[in-house]
Amino acid sequence: MSTSTTTTRIVLASRPHGAPTQENFRTETADLPELADGQLLLQTLYLSLDPYMRGRMSDAESYADPIGIGETMVGATVARVVDSRDERFTAGDVVLSYSGWQSHSVVQADHVRRLDTSTPLPLSTALGVLGMPGFTAWAGMNNIGHPKQGETVVVAAATGPVGSMVGQIAQLHGARAVGIAGGPEKVAYLKELGFDAAIDHRADDFAEQLAAATPDGIDVYFENVGGKVWDAVLPRLNTYARVPVCGLVSGYNATELPAGPDRSGQLMGTVLKKSLTLRGFIQAEYADQMGDFLAEMTPRVADGSISYREDVVEGLDNAVEAFIGLLTGGNFGKLVVKVAD
């Protein structure tokens, strides 16, 4: 198998103010270092695009260091081993890595996980339903949400890879699943998935529809969005409701605080009066549970009892446009870039 000494990569050219634009990225060719002991040369097959990447483009304080100007955009990848200087891997192995937005990479073998290519599941599922997004849903629900029989679970961005898994996990626990999505097509898909109710957040009477879909209130709200969705959810929360806070995508491109009065007092008052649990989390803090997640969910995905949808974009050169669309709900399902066959 031929080896590559260069990579085509997409780097952060400038920090966006508001929504990212094409000008915030740059495509370039770069030399790769020679392999050292314990390293692998990888060819990227699939690249995952996820909302958290917008936060990494900012130099504001966060849970992870920002991407430096001129550095390769970060991201999980499914990759093929082209060359190996580690006895545990040979050319042709397929691995899960964190190589970012590039065609080839040199990585430490300790930082990758070999994928099982003997299953009928697409390799791309390691970036979605059986990857970080699926695990995020599973970890947030099991460690914070704790859905119970007969309870009502609401999730926003419900057709995405996290939200769709949240709803299906809720039903595995015997809870009602109420999904919130944008547009009739996505709402129809939630009904195909078997959600007990599906609501379009773009509807003029969204808050009224949410109230009708949650007559007994909300026991678990899995937060992916924030904004007006959260405003409608907050009054519906029951005493002792749990709110795993996974993302706030509605505000990722914001350049200033929202207009209007400061409502933090209302929020804290509700937290107190209803004994709410609001818990932000990053899935990495539960990394030691990944084995349990894969053991439980892989058979369910394989037999179809857990459904998923992927939005596959062809070619690394289309990654920027796809990512910009992701932040405004332009994708339908887990967004993945197919970089190579």
Q: Mapped to the 3 state alphabet, what secondary structure does 37-90 carry? A: CCEEEEEEEEEECCCHHHHHCCCCCCCCCCCCCCCECCCCEEEEEEEECCCCCC
Domains in the chain, CATH or no CATH each: 6-123+310-338 (3.90.180.10), 132-284 (3.40.50.720)
Mean pLDDT of 62-76: 93
Q: Among 92-96, 115-119, 173-177, where is mean pLDDT lowest?
A: 115-119
Amino acid 255: pLDDT: 67
- Is the pLDDT at 178 greater than 60, yes or no? yes
- Is the pLDDT at 181 greater than 50, yes or no? yes
Q: What is the per-residue pLDDT across 242-297, written as a single tens digit (0 to 9) for each? A: 999 998 877 777 667 777 777 788 899 999 999 999 999 999 999 999 999 999 99
- Is the pLDDT at 109 greater than 70, yes or no? yes
Return the H-helix or E-strand segment holding 323. Answer: helix 319-326
- Highest mean pLDDT among 59-63, 262-266, 328-332 belongs to 328-332
For residue 29, the SS3 value is strand
Tokens 């780097």, residue located: 11
Q: Are 301 and 168 in contact (CB under 8 A)?
A: no
- Is the pLDDT at 327 greater than 70, yes or no? yes
Q: Is 192 exposed, middle or buried (0-12, 13-18, 19+ CB in 10 A)?
A: exposed
pTM here is: 0.88
Between 226 and 68, residue with greater pLDDT? 68
Question: Rounded to an integer, what distance in angstroms lies between the CA atom of residue 181 and that of residue 283?
Answer: 23
Amino acid 1: pLDDT: 40
Classify the phi-psi angles of 38: left when phi > 0, otherwise alpha if psi is within -120 to 50, otherwise beta. Answer: left
Amino acid 257: pLDDT: 72
